[in-house]
Chain A
Amino acid sequence: MKKFFINFGNAVMVFYKTITSIFTKRIEWDTTLEQIVKIGNESLPLVILCGAFTGMVFALQVGETSISIFNEPIYIGLSLAYSLVLELGPVLTSLVVTGRAGAAMTAEIGTMKVTEQIDALYTLGSEPISYIFVPRFIAFFVSLPILVLFADCSGILGGLVVAKLKLGYPISKYWEEIRTLGISTFSHGILKSFVFALLIVWIACYNGIETKGGAEGVGKATTKSVVVSMVFILVTDYFLTSLLLSFGIV
Chain B
Amino acid sequence: MIQLKNVHKNFEGKPVLRGLNLEIYDGEIITIIGASGAGKSVLFKNIVGLMKPDSGEIIVDGVDITKLDEDELHKVQTKFGMLFQGAALFDSLNVYENVAFGLRRLTNMNEVQIKRKVAELLEVVNLSGTQNLPVSALSGGMKKRVGLARALATSPKYLLYDEPTTGLDPILADSINKLIVKVNKQLKVTSIVVTHDMKSGFEISHRIAFLSDGVIKETGTPDEIKNSKLEELRKFISLYFQ
> Do residues A116 and B85 form an inter-chain contact, with CB atoms below 8 A?
yes
> Do residues A120 and B105 form an inter-chain contact, with CB atoms below 8 A?
no
Partner among A111, A117, A119, A125 whose Cβ is within 8 Å of the Cβ of B78: A125
Q: How many residues of A contact B (CB 8 A)?
A: 14
> Do residues A119 and B154 form an inter-chain contact, with CB atoms below 8 A?
no
Is B185 part of the contact surface with A, judged by Cβ < 8 Å?
A: no
> Do residues B89 and A123 form an inter-chain contact, with CB atoms below 8 A?
no
Contacts of B80-97 to chain A: CB distance below 8 A: 80-82, 84-86, 88-92
Contacts of A112-127 to chain B: CB distance below 8 A: 112, 115-117, 119-120, 122-127
> Do residues B150 and A116 form an inter-chain contact, with CB atoms below 8 A?
no
> Do residues A122 and B88 form an inter-chain contact, with CB atoms below 8 A?
no
Is B48 part of the contact surface with A, judged by Cβ < 8 Å?
A: yes
> Do residues B86 and A123 form an inter-chain contact, with CB atoms below 8 A?
no
Nearest Cβ distance between residue A149 and chain B, in whole angstroms? 28
Nearest Cβ distance between residue B125 and chain A, in whole angstroms? 16
- Specify which chain A residues have a CB less than 8 angstroms from the CB of B86 in the assembled complex: 115-116
- Specify which chain B residues have a CB less than 8 angstroms from the CB of A116 in the assembled complex: 84-86, 88
> Do residues B84 and A124 form an inter-chain contact, with CB atoms below 8 A?
no
Given contacts A115-B88, A117-B90, A119-B50, contact A127 B74 (CB under 8 A): yes
> Do residues A124 and B88 form an inter-chain contact, with CB atoms below 8 A?
no
CA distance A122 to B50 in the complex (A): 8
Is B189 part of the contact surface with A, judged by Cβ < 8 Å?
A: no
Contacts of A92-135 to chain B: CB distance below 8 A: 108, 111-112, 115-117, 119-120, 122-127
Closest to B89 in A: A117
> Do residues A124 and B50 form an inter-chain contact, with CB atoms below 8 A?
no
- Specify which chain A residues have a CB less than 8 angstroms from the CB of B74 in the assembled complex: 122, 125, 127
Contacts of B139-191 to chain A: CB distance below 8 A: 150-151, 154, 156
- Specify which chain A residues have a CB less than 8 angstroms from the CB of B80 in the assembled complex: 123
Nearest Cβ distance between residue A102 and chain B, in whole angstroms? 17
Is B202 part of the contact surface with A, judged by Cβ < 8 Å?
A: no
Nearest Cβ distance between residue A127 and chain B, in whole angstroms? 6
Partner among B78, B88, B154, B156 whose Cβ is within 8 Å of the Cβ of A120: B88
Partner among A108, A112, A122 whose Cβ is within 8 Å of the Cβ of B77: A122
Partner among B45, B91, B92, B102 whose Cβ is within 8 Å of the Cβ of A124: B102
Partner among B90, B91, B151 whose Cβ is within 8 Å of the Cβ of A123: B151
Give chain B's interface residues, CB within 8 Å of chain A. Answer: 45, 48-50, 74, 77-78, 80-82, 84-86, 88-92, 101-102, 105-106, 150-151, 154, 156
Give chain A's interface residues, CB within 8 Å of chain B. Answer: 108, 111-112, 115-117, 119-120, 122-127
Q: Which 8 residue pairs are nearest across A and B when measured between Cβ atoms?
A: A125-B105, A124-B102, A125-B106, A116-B88, A120-B88, A116-B84, A122-B77, A123-B82
Q: List 29 A-B contacts (CB under 8 A).
A: A108-B92, A115-B88, A115-B91, A116-B85, A116-B86, A117-B89, A117-B90, A117-B91, A119-B45, A119-B48, A119-B88, A120-B90, A120-B150, A122-B49, A122-B50, A122-B74, A123-B77, A123-B80, A123-B102, A123-B151, A123-B156, A124-B101, A124-B102, A124-B105, A124-B106, A125-B154, A126-B101, A126-B105, A127-B74
